[in-house]
Structures are given as structure tokens and as C-alpha cells.
Structure 1
Amino acid sequence: MDPQTTHLLYLHGFRSSPRSTKARVVADRVARRHPNLQWWCPQLPPSPHDAIDMVMKGIAHWPRKSMAVVGSSLGGYYATYVAGMTRCRAVLLNPAVHPARDLMRYIGDQTVWHDPAEHFYFRPEYIHELRAMEVGPLTRPERVFAIIAKGDEALDWHEMSARYPDSNIKLLEGGDHALSDFEKAHLDDVMAFINPI
């Protein structure tokens, strides 16, 4: 039996931020119901190398057995890396599976979803950084829970499902990439899997 989660990391997606709807919903639930849970939702830099370096340094002293990570979209790819390195529990929300391929077309100037005035430059070398952090089959696939929407307009649900064959998958018939009904339909399942203190 896994110990209850004491530390929770949330990783947002591409062009997103800790101000995303899902990140705020989870943060609110943690604040209201799990005040003893250590919560960290960092603003990830555009460079995948810098992002994962910051994350791994930030969780270096977290207890592996009682930490968990939630990742959305590109954050799901990062969360897969974190789970591969730590074997912690992970929840993946429409996770990116082949971001090195899919983000090629985004090289150049980009804006942040929640603040179009905020710009960043997605560099060609970031594609190589994404390739460098690919992890193979997870050693503890049962510690992964993926919510995957067939209606995702950005990512292929077949690829997402195939990436996590031995994990717990909640496959939605419809839905969208943002999981617009996240708070109402999925938050309880996420928190039950994480099993926070």
C-alpha cells in the first residue's frame, strides 16, 4: 500500500502557466482540503532542458514514495520524465507523447495563452532538448493515471493511449484538449489517485 502523498508537483503545458484553469482548480482544492500537502506549480521556462533542470532541482529532497506529479499536455511529457526518474505517482492530462515532432511548427515567437501580451521565443534547439528527455517504458506503469479525451483537437488519443499501455487510463468519448469539464468531471478522480494527506 502506497503512503499518502505529502508533496505534489503540477506541470503546465506549452504556452501555459500556473494561471491555467486546471492548475488553479487543483491549487484551490489543495488549499481548501489538503493544507498539509506541499504544493509546487512553477512557471516553466520555454527551454525544455531548463524546465526539467529546474523541476528536478526543486524536488531533489522530496520523498520519492510520498510525492506525486500532475502534468497537462507538454507538462504530461515532463511528468512522464519525472515519474521515470523518481517512480512517483503521476497523473497525465492529455499528455504530449511526441512533442519534438509536434512542436516543430511552433518554432519562433509565441504568446502565452493567459496573457497575450507576454511573449517568448521557441528556439530550434528546444526540439533537440525534448528528444533528449524521452524515457522508455515506465518501470512502475501502475503508478500512472492518464485522462485522455478522444475529442482532443491538439493531440491524437490513439498515440496517447498507446504510450501508457499498462497504466490506468480514463478514456473520454468526447472532451477537448483543455478538459473543459475538469473540475466537475475529473478532479475527484485525480485527487483520489494522488491520495493526498
Structure 2
Amino acid sequence: MQTQDSRARPLLIYLHGFLSSPQSFKCQLMREWLTANNPHIVFCAPQVLPYPAIAQQSLVGLLEGFLRSANCGPVGLLGSSMGGFWCTYLGERLHLPAVLINPAVRPSRFMPAYVGRVLRPYSGGTQEYRLTEADVDTMGRLEAELAQPLHSRYWLLSQRGDETLDYRDAENFYRSQRQTVEEGGDHGFQGFARYCAPIVEFLFNQQ
């Protein structure tokens, strides 16, 4: 018989946005909420590099490793902005549910503006990145793998005041999925704390 400590525990994976980090506000808020309210849920927030090929390889490897683990419980994905794209990519490939916060639907549209520039994470640090046209091409190929209709289960959280991405792209792309679209707000998604409990309900209590 399994003991409480040895039973498989749910795993929530948070994927941050472009040039953000696991130190982002929403990531830390979700981590703290789980610690206080659902400590049995394991929280994982990997650093996601802006290079699409490296990010794709590392994220798929990470998730496949978790899913092969003998004590792996249910896995849910939560992603913001570019992290929303990666959650959708992983959700379709590995059949996992995901919650998407102001997600990037076609990242290859905005990436050319960053090609050739020295890029640094918004959270600070000494790491520097420089994207190339090859990175944009790689992202375009990854986007092409996401064909309609979507086959996993998603919940779009969107605010129409998003100053970075066009909310209409996400509304259209996830049109067959659950959507909560709010007037106002911004790209960071104002009032995110309201959704911590519903996110956990969606990811783990409907499986």
C-alpha cells in the first residue's frame, strides 16, 4: 500500500513569457498560492530561453521525463504570453490541459523586431541573447505544427487592454475552447490572483 508521501502528486508547470523569468510576478504569486492552499501540488517553473529550437527541445524533454516517471501524477500547464504558446505546443503534443494568460499565438510575427539586438531578461541578470533569422524560421515551423481544431483542453484568460499582443488573435485561435475575456487590463493581466483557485480546479479536478 502506498503512503501519503509516496502517492503520485499533481504537477503544475508554469512557463513564463518572452525575456521574462521564473521570478515574474504571476509565477511567484502562483507558487505562493499553492504553498498556502494546495501544498500537495508540485510546482515547477523552468527558465525558458528565447531560442525556439533550444526551448522546444528542453521543454519536450522535461515534460516527457516527468510523464515517464513511475510516480507521476496529473500534469497541468500554465503559461503567460510566449509561455502560452509553449503550453499550447506541449498540450497538443503530449495531450495535457493548459491555462493560457494573454498568450502569444504567432510569435514569429513579433520576433523579427528583436533579430540582431542584444537582449536581456526583463528581470535583470547578466545573461544576454541575440536572435537570428533562423530563430524566426524555426518558430514559424513550430507554429505550423499547431493545426485546428485543437485536440487538448484549454482555458484562455485574456484582457482586451493588452498593449503588447492583439487579444483578437487569441480569441480566434482558441475559439472552440473555454474563454474568459475581460475589458481593460493589460499584458501583465491585472487581478491575476482572482484566478489561482479556478486554474487549479480546471487543470486537476476535471481530469
TM-score computed with the length of structure 1 as normaliser: 0.89
Partner of 2:133: 124
Q: What SS does the corresponding residue of 2:99 show, helix, strand or coil?
A: strand
Is this contact kept in 2: 1:5–1:68, CA < 8 A? no
1:138-192 deviation per Cα after TM superposition (whole angstroms, max 9, x unaligned): 113xx20010111000111111100001101000111100013212x33232222
Q: Runs of at least 4 residues of structure 1 off by over 6 A?
A: none
Aligned to 1:89: 97
Say which SS state the counterpart of residue 66 (structure 2) adopts.
coil
How far apart, in 1, do the equivalents of 2:90 and 2:43 lie? 16
User: Normalized per residue, which structure has more strand?
Assistant: 1
Q: CA deviation at 1:86?
A: 1.3
| Structure 2 counterpart SS, 1:111 | coil
Q: How far has the Cα of 1:118 moved from its partner?
A: 4.2
Name 1:139's counterpart in structure 2. 151
Counterparts of 2:198 and 2:25, CA distance in 1: 17
Deviations 1:72-116 (A, max 9, x none): 101101111001111111000000011101121111211211116
8 Å CA contact 1:12–1:18 kept in 2: the answer is yes
Cα RMSD after superposing both structures: 2.0
- Larger of the two Rg values belongs to structure: 2
Specify the alignment match of 1:43 in structure 2: 47
Aligned to 1:59: 63
Structure 1 residue aligned with 2:11:
7
Q: Which sections of structure 1, spanning at least 5 residues, go unmatched?
A: none
Distance 1:179 1:19 in 2: 16
**Partner-residue secondary structure (3-state), 2:78:** strand
Q: State the alpha-carbon separation in 1 of the partners of residues 73 and 53 from structure 2.
A: 25
Q: What secondary structure, in the 3-state scheme, does the structure 2 residue paired with 1:122 have?
A: coil
Quick one: distance in 2 between partners of 1:153 and 1:124? 25
Q: Equivalent of 1:34, from 35, 38, 56?
A: 38
- Count how many residue pairs are aligned between Structure 1 and Structure 2: 190
Runs of 5+ consecutive residues of structure 2 not aligned to the other structure: 1-7
Q: 1:111 aligns with which of 106, 120, 145?
A: 120
The 5-angstrom pairing of residues 177-188 of structure 1 reads 177-183=187-193, 185-188=194-197
